[in-house]
């Protein structure tokens, strides 16, 4: 029996099985919006197959790009292999992906209740609490999932490591509490390089592919890895709502997967160095990073292969210090998003988590760092000079939470 390929090899070769037959080496991009039909009957059968969640029939047509695109399909196959899943379904954004999941497991499944484990990405938290999708949401901590399940619960949503303060949830424990209710794990921070939620019982693994999967800050996308039955339900929603990922975006993401393991390891190593430096800084009241508590329950060791490249830190000087630091860095770009080759600094409470209710919003003194591929000593020097600037701006920045 052939030994399984190493994930580094899978990242390079997955989703490319048809390239030799096509006579090409680099990934092709199919930008067609419509496709020739062999005849009325086979064209109609093809349309029905894809509109109801299936794949293009071998003797049929792809019909129309809202239903299927081969460039998108290759990326989906590649991501599914990396996530140890039967299938994956790609969308125009991470929020489009989450919306499709909620619709497919809520109203479309005759359910109107979702259990959401906090903390969550602010956009997901806001979407679930908005009522826009016709579901009621119960928010809870990981240990409260079982008590939150109702007969009409169609989905449990959890993010680990969580955005922005990187709490770790035990996926297997959440799945056990959920029982027959499917669990979706937002795996954006960990990526398939460090964590495979389906291996621990989750029904779905979701990524804001905008982040680490693409890795270069030039494409917005979302993708869900799952079994084929779930994929069919998600494709139905995608076909009706028009949430298909553009083929150029799929090409960029598929190309990005090839370097994902190398990027993630290098960024993680820099993050570890920066965490150790931050711990001893007088300007920092607390550092949030997986494993700093030595993982007493063994969750990280059990379900992850690394701790990632995201860091959160609580400033000693409160909101005024946080605001000053974001204005003083030069290598760290003050911007939302994460997971790219360049480092970013962001204030979650005022930006990505601004729509979240006050009781679940991150504190005003917390900043989030996304560590890129710059030289780690240069990144540390940039933070050091930003911290040094705090004494020069003390008292010039308004305190409090002006967005509340």
Q: Which residues are catalytic?
A: 66, 121, 186, 211
Distances (CA, A) of 21 to 17, 24, 27, 60, 303: 8, 8, 12, 19, 38
> Which pair of tokens denotes residue 149?
């399940």
User: What proportions of the chain, in percent to the nearest 5, are helix, strand and coil?
Assistant: 40, 15, 45
Give the contacts of 130 (CB within 8 A, at least 6 positions apart).
none
Alpha carbon distance 197, 299 (integer Å):
13
DSSP state of 385: H
Q: How far apart, in whole angstroms, are the C-alpha atoms of residue 222 and residue 276?
A: 32
* DSSP H stretches of helix in 3-148: 7-13, 19-22, 40-51, 70-82, 94-105, 122-130, 145-148
* Both tokens assigned to 319: 């909101």
Q: Give the pair of three-digit tokens for residue 56.
A: 């293009």
Q: Which residues pair with 103 in a beta bridge?
A: none
Residue closest to 164 by CA, chosen among 341, 352, 24, 293: 352
Please, which residues have CB within 8 angstroms of residue 325's CB and are 6 or more apart in sequence? 315, 345, 367, 383, 386, 387, 389, 390
Calpha distance 207→54 (Å, rounded): 22
CB 308 within 8 A of CB 188: no
Determine contact, residues 89/235, Cβ cutoff 8 Å. yes
């Amino acid at each position: 029996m052939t030994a399984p390929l190493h994930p580094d090899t899978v990242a390079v070769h997955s989703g490319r099985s048809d390239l030799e037959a096509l006579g090409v080496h680099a990934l092709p991009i199919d930008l067609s919006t419509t496709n020739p039909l062999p005849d009325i009957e086979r064209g109609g059968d093809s349309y029905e197959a894809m509109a109801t969640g299936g794949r293009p029939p071998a003797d049929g047509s792809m019909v129309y790009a809202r239903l299927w695109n081969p460039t998108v399909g290759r990326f989906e196959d590649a991501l599914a292999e990396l996530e140890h899943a039967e299938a994956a379904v790609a969308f125009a954004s991470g929020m489009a992906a989450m919306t499709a999941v909620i619709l497919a497991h809520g109203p479309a499944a005759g359910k109107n209740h979702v259990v959401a484990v906090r903390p969550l990405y602010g956009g997901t938290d806001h979407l679930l609490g908005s009522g826009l999708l016709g579901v009621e949401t119960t928010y809870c901590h990981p240990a409260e999932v079982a008590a939150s399940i109702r007969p009409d619960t169609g989905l449990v949503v959890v993010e680990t490591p969580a955005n922005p303060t990187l709490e770790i949830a035990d996926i297997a424990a959440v799945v056990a509490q959920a029982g027959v209710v499917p669990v979706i794990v937002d795996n954006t921070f960990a990526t398939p390089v460090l964590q495979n939620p389906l291996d621990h019982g989750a029904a779905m693994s979701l990524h804001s592919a905008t982040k680490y999967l693409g890795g270069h800050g030039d494409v917005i996308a979302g993708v869900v890895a799952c079994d084929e039955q779930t994929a069919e339900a998600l494709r139905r929603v995608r076909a009706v709502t028009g949430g298909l990922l553009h083929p150029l975006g799929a090409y960029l993401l598929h190309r990005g997967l090839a370097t994902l393991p190398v990027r993630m390891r290098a960024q993680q190593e820099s993050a570890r160095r920066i965490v150790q430096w931050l711990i001893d800084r007088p300007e920092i009241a607390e550092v949030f990073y997986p494993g700093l508590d030595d993982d007493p329950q063994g969750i990280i060791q059990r379900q992850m292969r690394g701790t990632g490249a995201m860091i959160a830190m609580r400033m000693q000087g409160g909101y005024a210090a946080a605001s000053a630091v974001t204005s003083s860095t030069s290598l760290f770009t003050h911007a939302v998003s994460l997971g790219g080759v360049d480092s970013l600094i962001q204030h979650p409470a005022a930006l990505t988590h601004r729509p979240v209710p006050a009781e679940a919003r991150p504190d005003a003194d917390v900043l989030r760092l996304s560590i890129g591929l710059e030289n780690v000593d240069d990144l540390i020097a940039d933070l050091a000079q930003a911290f040094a600037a705090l004494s020069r701006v003390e008292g010039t920045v308004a305190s409090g939470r002006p967005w509340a």
